[in-house]
C-alpha cells in the first residue's frame, strides 16, 4: 500500500508560479496592500477625476487628459490599495475520506488549500481557515506569512479521520456545511475572498428544484465577499465499474448496501443520477454568484487550476476586447503573464 502523501507532495509546483489569485470586489482594511480598497487614499487604482481645488490638491495628481478635453483643471482620484484577507472553509467530514485514485478527496482538498495559500500570498495579505470535521469546527486565525501557511497545511494533514458510524447509533451530531459557512461569515468581518473546499454533497436534496440547506449561507457570503467553490470529486462517485457484487458504505452514517454492478441498467441509472447531482451543484453555485472550480482525484489538479485561471482571464478580457469600456475582471482566478 503506498504511503500517504506528504506536505511536499501536495504543495504547488512551478506551474502555479506565473499565476495570481485576484479579487474583483473592493475590500475593507487599514494596511497598504495590493488590492482595491473601498475608500480614497494612497494607491494606484484610478477611481475617476474631479475639478482641481487650489490649495487642497497636489499638482502631481493632475489628470492632464481630462484637463485638455474640458479646459478645466482636473485631478485624478484613486482608491487606496488594501491588504487581502482570505478565509477558507475546508470540508473534512467523513464523505471526504474517500478516494480510488492516487489521492483521496481529503488529500486533494489539502492540495487545493496549498494552491490558494500560495496564490494569495502578498504584501499584508492574511489567510484564515475553518476546518469542518466530524468532531466540530476548528478555527485557524487569519495570519500572514509562509510559516503560518505551512502550519495550516500540516494541521490539515494531521487532522484525525472519522471512522464510520454505527447505524444503530444514528447519524453523527456534527456541524454541516451550512454551519461552517455561517462560521466563516462571522469570522470574515472585512470584505475579502472566501474559498469553500468541499464535495458539496451535504444535504443535497433529491429534487433539483429544492435548495440545499447551505445555499442561503453561501448566498449571504457572496453578497459581501468574493466566493470561490472548489468542488472535489472522485471518479467512482460519477460512475460504477463492472466488478460484480460489492458492498457500499455511507461514510456519514455507516449504512451498508449490497449492489450488483454487473447490471448494465443499474450502472446507467447511477451515472445519470450522478450527472444530475453535479448539474444541481453547478446551478446552486451559479444562483449564489460563486465561481466554480471542479477538481477530481484522478486528474492533474494543478493543470485543472491553471486551465481555470486562463479561462477566467479570457472572460475578464472579453469586455475590453469588445470596446465596452474599462475591463472588469470576472471570476476568482486570473492568470499572470505567460
The x, y and z cell numbers of residue 185, run together, are 461569515
The x, y and z cell numbers of residue 130, run together, are 475553518
For the chain, strand residue ranges (E) read 19-20, 32-51, 74-82, 85-92, 126-133, 136-143, 193-198, 226-233, 245-249, 256-260, 291-296, 334-335
For the chain, first and last CA: distance in Å?
39
The x, y and z cell numbers of residue 132, run together, are 469542518
pTM for the predicted model, two decimal places? 0.72
Task: List the pLDDT tens digit at each of the 338 positions of the chain.
Answer: 556 666 555 555 555 554 444 444 544 443 334 444 433 444 444 556 888 888 778 888 888 988 998 899 998 876 544 578 899 999 988 888 888 888 889 989 998 998 888 888 777 788 999 999 877 899 999 888 888 888 888 888 888 776 544 444 544 567 899 999 999 999 988 888 899 999 999 888 888 889 999 999 999 999 988 899 999 999 999 998 888 888 888 777 778 989 888 889 999 999 999 999 999 999 999 999 999 999 999 998 888 888 887 777 676 666 545 544 433 333 455 544 33
Cβ atoms within 10 Å, residue 225:
24
Separation CA 127–CA 86 (nearest Å): 5
Domains and CATH numbers, the chain: 7-21+83-314 (3.40.50.410), 32-82 (no CATH)
- On whether the CB atoms of residues 87 and 187 are closer than 8 A, the answer is yes
Listed residue (175, 188, 198, 179) closest to 221, CA to CA = 188
Amino acid at each position: 500500500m503506498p504511503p500517504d502523501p506528504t506536505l511536499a507532495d501536495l504543495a504547488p509546483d512551478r506551474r502555479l508560479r506565473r499565476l495570481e489569485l485576484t479579487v474583483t470586489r473592493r475590500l475593507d482594511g487599514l494596511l497598504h496592500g495590493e488590492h482595491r480598497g473601498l475608500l480614497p487614499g494612497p494607491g494606484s487604482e484610478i477611481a475617476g477625476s474631479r475639478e482641481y481645488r487650489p490649495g487642497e490638491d497636489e499638482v502631481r495628481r493632475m489628470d492632464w487628459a481630462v484637463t485638455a478635453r474640458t479646459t478645466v483643471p482636473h485631478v485624478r482620484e484613486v482608491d487606496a490599495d488594501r491588504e487581502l484577507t482570505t478565509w477558507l472553509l475546508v470540508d473534512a467530514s467523513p464523505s471526504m475520506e474517500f478516494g480510488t485514485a492516487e489521492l483521496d478527496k481529503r488529500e486533494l482538498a489539502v492540495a487545493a488549500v496549498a494552491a490558494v495559500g500560495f496564490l494569495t500570498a502578498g504584501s499584508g495579505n492574511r489567510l484564515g481557515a475553518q476546518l469542518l470535521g466530524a468532531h466540530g469546527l476548528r478555527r485557524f486565525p487569519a495570519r500572514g506569512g509562509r510559516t503560518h501557511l505551512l502550519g495550516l497545511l500540516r494541521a490539515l494533514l494531521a487532522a484525525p479521520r472519522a471512522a464510520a458510524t454505527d447505524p444503530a447509533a444514528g447519524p453523527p451530531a456534527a456541524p454541516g456545511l451550512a454551519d461552517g459557512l455561517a462560521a466563516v461569515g462571522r469570522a470574515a468581518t472585512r470584505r475579502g475572498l472566501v474559498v469553500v473546499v468541499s464535495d458539496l454533497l451535504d444535504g443535497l436534496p433529491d429534487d433539483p428544484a429544492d435548495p440545499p440547506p447551505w445555499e442561503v449561507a453561501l448566498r449571504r457570503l457572496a453578497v459581501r465577499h468574493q466566493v470561490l467553490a472548489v468542488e472535489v470529486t472522485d471518479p467512482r462517485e460519477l460512475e460504477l465499474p463492472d466488478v460484480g457484487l460489492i458492498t457500499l458504505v455511507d461514510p456519514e452514517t455507516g449504512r451498508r448496501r449490497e449492489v450488483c454492478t454487473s447490471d448494465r441498467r443499474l450502472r446507467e441509472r447511477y451515472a445519470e443520477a450522478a450527472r444530475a447531482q453535479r448539474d444541481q451543484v453547478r446551478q446552486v453555485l451559479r444562483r449564489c454568484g460563486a465561481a466554480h472550480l471542479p477538481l477530481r482525484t484522478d486528474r492533474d489538479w494543478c493543470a485543472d487550476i491553471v486551465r481555470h485561471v486562463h479561462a477566467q482571464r479570457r472572460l475578464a478580457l472579453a469586455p475590453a476586447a469588445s470596446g465596452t469600456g474599462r475591463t472588469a475582471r470576472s471570476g476568482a482566478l486570473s492568470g499572470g503573464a505567460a
